[in-house]
Amino acid sequence: NAGVTQTPKFQVLKTGQSMTLQCAQDMNHNSMYWYRQDPGMGLRLIYYSASEGTTDKGEVPNGYNVSRLNKREFSLRLESAAPSQTSVYFCASTPDREQFFGPGTRLTVL
Amino acid sequence: RKEVEQDPGPFNVPEGATVAFNCTYSNSASQSFFWYRQDCRKEPKLLMSVYSSGNEDGRFTAQLNRASQYISLLIRDSKLSDSATYLCVVSYSSASKIIFGSGTRLSIRP
């Protein structure tokens, strides 16, 4: 089992560019999450999906959109990147309470 | 006030020492509690769940005090490999209500 995978690992964007962060899990988990982690802020929830076909906003959804393509995949899209979105992005999935995280995507917006 | 608060540290202790961290939470409706470990530039991984009766896993002991709304983590006979950031996590019944603390950084010196 690969667990939770994320692509890309690193990305540099210019302000205004768009991109999609990909996440996939092979553990047959229903719930999937997108977080961002900034120094001193801990992990903050951007969006989550409790099950295939449903998505809901978390604490910091502005500037992001998500797609739960199927049970395995949950993508995060930045339509018009801003420097404030420079962060490390983690995808996670859970069967119940314990969360399993992907390795993260380090995004820099210039 | 943050919903989950941790002392950011860093805690710098010698190998073999005992070290303890506390984490306070503000919402009494919290249902589940966890400690995660995060190594530098890596994803968080579950260290242990925290139960009302307290629980131990080798050198690690976690305790929950619902009356005072805090959880603790005790590490005995600390090893160099224990150097990491320890994240306190509190969750509620809803899939979206999983709150991460900012983390406590621990550094073990030889």
Residues A76-99: pLDDT tens digits? 999 999 999 999 999 999 988 789
* Residue B20 in contact with partner chain A when CB distance is under 8 A: no
Q: Give A78 or A2, the one with higher predicted confidence.
A: A78
Whole-angstrom distance, CA of residue A110 vs CA of residue A49: 30
* Residue A43 in contact with partner chain B when CB distance is under 8 A: yes
Instruction: Give the mean model confidence (pLDDT) for residues B64-92.
Output: 94
Q: What is the pLDDT of residues A23-35, one digit of tens each?
A: 999 999 999 999 9
* Residue A34 in contact with partner chain B when CB distance is under 8 A: no
| Cβ atoms B21, B6 nearer than 8 A | yes
Q: What is the three-class DSSP state of A85?
A: helix
Whole-angstrom distance, CA of residue A52 vs CA of residue A25: 13
Residue of A68, A89, A101, A107 to mutate for B, most B C-beta atoms under 10 A = A101
Give contacts of B101 with chain A, Cβ < 8 Å: 42
Whole-angstrom distance, CA of residue B17 vs CA of residue B77: 5
Cβ neighbours of residue A69 closer than 8 Å, sequence gap 6 or more: A75
Q: Which residue is closest to A31 within chain B, CA to CA? A: B95
Q: What is the three-class DSSP state of A84?
A: helix
